[in-house]
Amino acid sequence: PLDFMRESLRAENRATQVVVRIHDPGRLEAVREALAGRLEPMGLEVKTWLELAVAFLELYRLESFGNLLIIYILLLIVTVGIANTMLMAAYERVREIGMLMAMGLSRWEVRLLFLVEGMFLGLWGGLIGVAAGAPLTWLMEKRGIPVAWFTGGAEVDFGYPIRDAYYAELTLGLVLYAVA
């Protein structure tokens, strides 16, 4: 409340900050320049949210990079797993491959056979993974994971507000990305 802040900051009838919200983000710099032209001669500073939230934006960039790194590592693990499965399938079916080639299939057709088999294996694995993971993700989207589980109930202060729970996001785009 304004009265509480004035009392806490010992700013009787003075403001320490004025926040202006604009609806068109494309006009941010134009509005900043217009306000600066009027207010800076009076000794007041005019800053955009981009200038004030540098630490938060850098943290967001690092988090996004970390998430991408984890996704790429998981994709590498999945790719190696599928390649290993297909390689073992080929080694175990040497006689079958020989018989198919004796019946007239070319090397290219045998490779195509394994490629299609691998594609179906990956597609079914992705669909089964989505079927198993989507309900859990939906539950995490609705209820979240309480931060207290990770902190043992202790208060944590990183210098910016922390939610009481982490929430997942389940969208059609993410589901298709996971299957792909």
- Residue 51 pLDDT more than 90? no
What one-character DSSP code corresponds to residue 12? T
pLDDT per residue as tens digits for the range 58-117: 988 999 999 999 989 998 998 898 888 878 888 888 898 899 899 999 999 998 988 898
pLDDT of residue 160: 58
48, 29 contact by CB (below 8 A):
yes
User: Percentage of the chain surpassing pLDDT 70?
Assistant: 94
Measured between alpha carbons, how far is 77 from 83 in angstroms, rounded to an integer?
10
Kindly indicate the confidence band of residue 156, based on its pLDDT and cuts at 50, 70 and 90.
Answer: low
Q: Tally the residues of the chain.
A: 180
pLDDT of 155 above 70? no
Average pLDDT, the chain: 85
Q: Is the pLDDT of residue 164 over 70?
A: yes
Is residue 28 predicted with pLDDT exceeding 70? Answer: yes
- Cβ neighbour number for residue 117 with a 10 Å cutoff: 14
Q: At what angle do helices 94-102 and 107-143 cross, to 10 degrees?
A: 130
**Distance from C-alpha of 4 to C-alpha of 7, rounded to nearest angstrom:** 5
Determine the pLDDT at residue 15: 73
pLDDT of residue 18: 81
Residue 11 has pLDDT above 80, yes or no: no
Question: Average of pLDDT values for 135-141?
Answer: 91
The identity of residue 14, as a single letter, is R
Residue pair 166/147 in contact (Cβ under 8 Å)? The answer is: yes
Compute the Cα dihedral for 153, 158, 161, 167 and give only its sign: negative
Contact 5, 19 (CB under 8 A): no
Give the model's pLDDT for residue 154. 66
Confidence of residue 135 (pLDDT cuts 50, 70, 90): very high
